Amino acid sequence: MPTFDDPVADAAEASAALRGLAHATRSFENPADTYPVIGDLLAGIRSLRQVLDQLAAAHINARARAHDDTGSQATGATSALEAAGELHQAGTLLDTVEWRLDAASQHSGRIAWHPATEHSPAKRWISVVFLEGSEADKVLDLIDRDGTDAAIEHLAGHDFGEETTQAALENGYVYDEPPAGVLDKVATRDAYTLTYNPFLGHVSLLREHDVLPDPALLGIDTPSPAPAAVQMPVHSRETAPPSRPTSRTVGQAADGDWFARRPGTSSPQGRGIAL
Question: Are residues 247 and 162 both part of a single domain?
Answer: yes
pTM of the entire predicted model: 0.46
Q: Give residue 80's pLDDT.
A: 95
Cα gap 78→11, rounded to integer Å: 26
The predicted pLDDT at position 241 comes to: 39
pLDDT at 247 (0 to 100):
36
Contact between residue 141 and residue 147 where contact means Cβ atoms under 8 Å apart: no
Tell me if 3 is assigned to some domain: no
pLDDT at 120: 61
Query: Is residue 114 in a domain?
Result: no
Helices (H), the chain: 7-24, 34-61, 73-109, 134-146, 148-155, 162-171, 215-218
Q: Are residues 49 and 159 in the same domain?
A: no
Query: Does residue 27 belong to any structural domain of this protein?
Result: yes
d(CA 89, CA 56) in angstroms, rounded, equals: 10
Q: Are residues 101 and 132 both part of a single domain?
A: no
Statement to judge: residues 128 and 191 lie in one domain: yes
Output the pLDDT for position 251.
37
Is the same domain home to 165 and 266? yes
Predicted pLDDT of residue 203: 94
Domain count, the chain: 2
Considering the domain architecture, whether residues 132 and 194 belong to the same structural domain is answered as yes
Same domain, 75 and 167: no
Distances (CA, A) of 146 to 71, 198, 231, 268: 107, 15, 15, 25
Q: How far is CA 233 from CA 136, 215, 224, in A?
A: 11, 24, 15
Task: Report, as ranges of residue numbers, the positions in the chain whose pLDDT lies below 50.
Answer: 217, 220-275
| Overall residue count recorded for the chain in this entry | 275
Q: Does residue 216 lie within any of the structural domains?
A: yes
* Residue 2 domain flag: no
pLDDT at 230: 39
